[in-house]
Structure 1
Amino acid sequence: MSVTAPPAAPHTGRRTGRWIDDWRPEDPEFWESTGAPVARRNLIWSILAEHLGFSVWLFWSVSAALLVKVGFEFSVSQLFLLVAVPNLVGSLLRLPYTFAVPKFGGRNWTVVSALLLLVPTLLFATAVQDPTTPYWVFLLIAATAGVGGGNFASSMANINFFYPAKRKGLALGLNAAGGNIGVAVLQLGLPIVVGGAGLFGLVKASSGGLHLARAGYLYAALAVVAAIMAYFFMDNLSSARSNARDVASVVTHKHTWVMSFLYIGTFGSFIGYSAALPLLIKLEFFVPEPLPTGTGINFAYYAFLGALVGSITRPFGGWLADKYGGARVTLATFGAMILGTLGVLWTVTQLAPNPTADPAIALDNKSMFPLFLVAFLFVFAATGIGNGSTFRMIPAIWKRDTKKSSAVIGIASAVGALGGFLIPLAFGAPWIDNPVESVKTAFGVFTAFYVVCLVVTWAVYVRKASVARVAGLADARI
């Protein structure tokens, strides 16, 4: 039987596209002969759609840092809030996006979710062309970018149905990494597209000034391409179904919330730091004087590296988890994150305060930037590995029920994404007079949180008398 053209089946009232009725990924013969190539094809186009979703979700991480350059007079706290709001909305949308896959089909929902990216991109392109656009309008437009964050949950839940248990770690890691790397591509490419920066001498910055609308139109066009590719090359699985009973059972399961908590530490840190890094570099290491180039470190050359490193290491975390167990890898990850965050905190304490007051201070701070960047990239690498390992733990805990594990993936990804809202908010807290000092306080709080995450991972999943082992989950190789 051809999987891409399944035999006729009774009409269910939901067949609006290509549906596969016979899907047995745990059957080795079926997997080798039929399942693997179909799963691989769906994974490829899922990665593209999720990549664009992440790019649009983190659109404001770069755009906010450029708004002042084109004449919008917003405070540091206002800019950090523009960066944070899409992450809050995206986290809230992840639950309904997860359950949209069994309701409408993975392929069908990928088409819809890609087309929804037209809303934030076209609104952005319109708003930045009018210098009188008020802040509250930008805040609403930033909120619509949250639809890009929802894409991750539906994409991961969908791919989870396609792969057998022993291959989920790498498959989910690749799918997530393809999406995560959209942040790096955006942060590197958007300044070039809009004419705000060159590319290490290979591409020169536009001499005609900044044109932020270009980025909005470009990503709107790419969203249409992703929708078309999903429509023609992806599939829906009839077996990818869930019901209220499945959802209720995982909501009341304590491991659902433990994993959600740990995912705040890994993915929440990745997305929060990715969103905030451009503004952090601008705040700590750059001043706009003397005109026109300014003094210090230009975020456009370096901010993308964090998301790039975290994206690349994510599938590596999935692979390590497949080999050694997700809990052990996650434990080591939090240890690394503690060390890395302490390194970042130390470099921040060495900086001269308020570099925006004096170009000479920005030059002094510039000497500390290499240490700051190396320590931060170490943290990003650890978050990527942790993202892969924690997501591998979920199918291991719910080893015998793919529907429930997909529901947990959606819940954990929703809760974890809240870190993307809280981290930028902590850096630009409006109740703190000195934003530079608030950065130091924030990194201290984050370090303490990672210590708690490490203890929870050890107590619940790693130690010999852990909660998981006592509950009989040891055979799942969590």
Structure 2
Amino acid sequence: MNTVRTSSTVDKPTAINLIVGMTLWMSLSVLVVQLFTVDAGFSFAQLYRLLAISGLSATVWHFVFFWLGERAMQARFIYLSTAALLLPAIAMIWLLMNPPLSYTALQWLAAACGFGGAQFIAFTHHDKVDHSGLGWTLAVNAGIAGIGIVIAQAALPFLSSFNLFGATPWFTAHGSGDIVGIIAPGAPLYLANIGWLIVAAIVLATITWQVARPSTRQPAPPLGSLTDRTHYRAILRNKHTWLMTLFYVMAFGSFIGFTITFPLSLQTFSATYAPSALTYAWIGPLLGVLARPFGGWLADLFGGAKVTLWCALVLTVSCIVAGAITFQASQSPLPEQWFLGYLLIFLVIFIATGAASSAIFRSVSVVLPLERLPLALRWLTAVATAGAAYIPTLWYINSTHATPAIALFVFAAFYLLCAVLVSVMYLRNRSEFYNP
């Protein structure tokens, strides 16, 4: 049996760390929409810029953790990085309880929240896993962090409608919404609740670390020596690393970029129509998270390259359709009639990006030596996280010039390029690795 020592399950304290970190990061995608609804005085371009800053910050921290190697996977490091999330959470509370808001302060807050997006500490628990089921296993592990995304975008808007901590309320100037439904203009929103709830989650995570992770427990030996710089050089000199990196940017990069941007893109769907964005925004990321195990299962069954190709083609067509809908809505006197189609096509995009992410993980496990797999996956994740920076940046540029459809057509061209590369490199009979 071809086996590899990898993480079949992420232990509970680490899982909580992942969830809390992603909740903090993605809370910014909720906050920017709510800042618009309470008319905090910022343009859509400024709000998109905040998302791009947080995405850039998360990417930088990912690379820091990547170069730290084993040290970034030790229990003490994860414990301290969880506790460090208190700083941006407390800063968020202080800012939202002391209006008016400074845009400079919000930019610093966005950069601090990006630290939560770098909490992908995996492979802390090691078991032997059948290589034939590796796609499923890695998909489940990667999907854990997605729980934090759904919590942020589904639960936080709902809980900000209640005076839970005696915070000063903001009042909506535009129609808003949450998972329950539409919130009428003039309703109170307790935006500081977002920070308070994240603080409570971090405290819970810290206590869990102390209770569930006794000091006598020794961490399992890592898969390969991640502090051995020869492994770094080896994966970066391998052409398949760079191909898989490009494909993972297509998949996970698009997923995380659209996830952080989707709520605000719904809110900015049309200048004359403001939908209840937070009522629907969480559905896309949830479907993307659920699609990860499904994509891993399909990759184990049919091969990672075939599933990646299917997903790339679906993404190409979907982005062309989404761009056409966006253009038609911008020209229509009744843009609301295009909103449902825009929402549904993006749900397809989220499903395709989730499935493709797991298929690519499966392919990486075949084209790269197994002892370098954890390091390679951390590299792919670090690079692909940049999707949370460049996707809102493109929306920022296009919103500035009132041409939102162009960004979607650019994405479609990129996905088509990836489909061609998958076909040429991995789906020809003479390929070095056929349908890995």
TM-score if structure 2 supplies the norm length? 0.87
Contact between 1:192 and 1:205, CA under 8 Å: does it hold in 2? no
State yes or no: 1:408 paired with 2:380.
no
Distance 2:73 2:312 in 1: 36
Distance 2:187 2:274 in 1: 23
Distance 1:347 1:63 in 2: 26
Distance 2:133 2:84 in 1: 31
- In structure 2, the CA distance between the partners of 1:181 and 1:285, relative to structure 1 (3 Å rule), is farther
Shift of 1:299: 0.3
Letter in 2 for 1:269: S
State which of 254, 261, 274 in structure 2 corresponds to 1:269: 254
- In structure 2, the CA distance between the partners of 1:237 and 1:210, relative to structure 1 (3 Å rule), is same
State which of 48, 73, 79 in structure 2 corresponds to 1:80: 48
Q: Which residue of 2 aligns with 1:213?
A: 192
Q: Which residue of 2 aligns with 1:21?
A: none
Contact between 2:241 and 2:368, CA under 8 Å: does it hold in 1? no
Q: Which residue of 1 aligns with 2:286?
A: 308
Q: Which residue of 2 aligns with 1:176?
A: 142
Letter in 2 for 1:127: L
State which of 57, 61, 82 in structure 2 corresponds to 1:114: 82
Deviations 1:325-373 (A, max 9, x none): 21111111101111211221121121134x9xxxxx5xx2111111111
Distance 1:171 1:274 in 2: 23
Q: Which residue of 2 aligns with 1:3?
A: none
- In structure 2, the CA distance between the partners of 1:166 and 1:272, relative to structure 1 (3 Å rule), is same
Letter in 1 for 2:135: G
Q: Which residue of 1 aligns with 2:405?
A: 440
State which of 269, 273, 277 in structure 2 corresponds to 1:299: 277
Deviations 1:163-182 (A, max 9, x none): 52344322221122121232
Runs of 5+ consecutive residues of structure 2 not aligned to the other structure: 162-175
State yes or no: 1:387 paired with 2:338.
no
Contact between 1:86 and 1:143, CA under 8 Å: does it hold in 2? yes
Distance 2:267 2:183 in 1: 21
Q: Which residue of 2 aligns with 1:237?
A: 220
Deviations 1:213-261 (A, max 9, x none): 1111111221222233244435622334321111121122222211111
Letter in 1 for 2:301: K
Letter in 1 for 2:352: A
Letter in 1 for 2:23: S
- In structure 2, the CA distance between the partners of 1:349 and 1:105, relative to structure 1 (3 Å rule), is closer
- In structure 2, the CA distance between the partners of 1:75 and 1:389, relative to structure 1 (3 Å rule), is same
Give percent identity, aligned residues only.
26
Shift of 1:262: 0.9
Shift of 1:377: 0.5
> What's the C-alpha RMSD, in Å, of the aligned pairs?
2.7
Shift of 1:63: 0.5
Distance 1:342 1:71 in 2: 32
State yes or no: 1:333 paired with 2:311.
yes
Contact between 1:306 and 1:376, CA under 8 Å: does it hold in 2? yes
Distance 1:393 1:452 in 2: 18
Q: Matched residue of 1:131: which SS?
A: coil
Letter in 2 for 1:257: W
- In structure 2, the CA distance between the partners of 1:88 and 1:262, relative to structure 1 (3 Å rule), is same
Q: Which residue of 2 aligns with 1:227?
A: 206
Q: Matched residue of 2:47: which SS?
A: helix
Letter in 1 for 2:76: N
Matches within 5 A, 1:191-202: 191-195=157-161, 197-200=177-180
Contact between 2:16 and 2:205, CA under 8 Å: does it hold in 1? yes
Stretches (4+) displaced over 6 A: 203-208
Letter in 1 for 2:317: L
Higher-Rg structure is: 1
State which of 447, 455, 458 in structure 1 corresponds to 2:423: 458
Contact between 2:329 and 2:335, CA under 8 Å: does it hold in 1? yes
Distance 1:208 1:433 in 2: 30
Distance 2:128 2:274 in 1: 48
Distance 1:166 1:280 in 2: 39
Deviations 1:449-470 (A, max 9, x none): 001111111122222222xx1x
Q: Which residue of 2 aligns with 1:188?
A: 154
Runs of 5+ consecutive residues of structure 1 not aligned to the other structure: 1-24, 288-294, 356-360
State which of 321, 331, 346 in structure 1 corresponds to 2:299: 321
Q: Matched residue of 1:349: which SS?
A: helix
- In structure 2, the CA distance between the partners of 1:297 and 1:206, relative to structure 1 (3 Å rule), is closer
Matches within 5 A, 1:10-89: 26=3, 39-40=8-9, 42-89=10-57
TM-score if structure 1 supplies the norm length? 0.80
Q: Give aligned pairs, total.
A: 414
Shift of 1:50: 1.4
Letter in 2 for 1:194: S
Q: Which residue of 2 aligns with 1:11?
A: none
State yes or no: 1:372 paired with 2:342.
yes
Q: Which residue of 1 aligns with 2:236?
A: 251
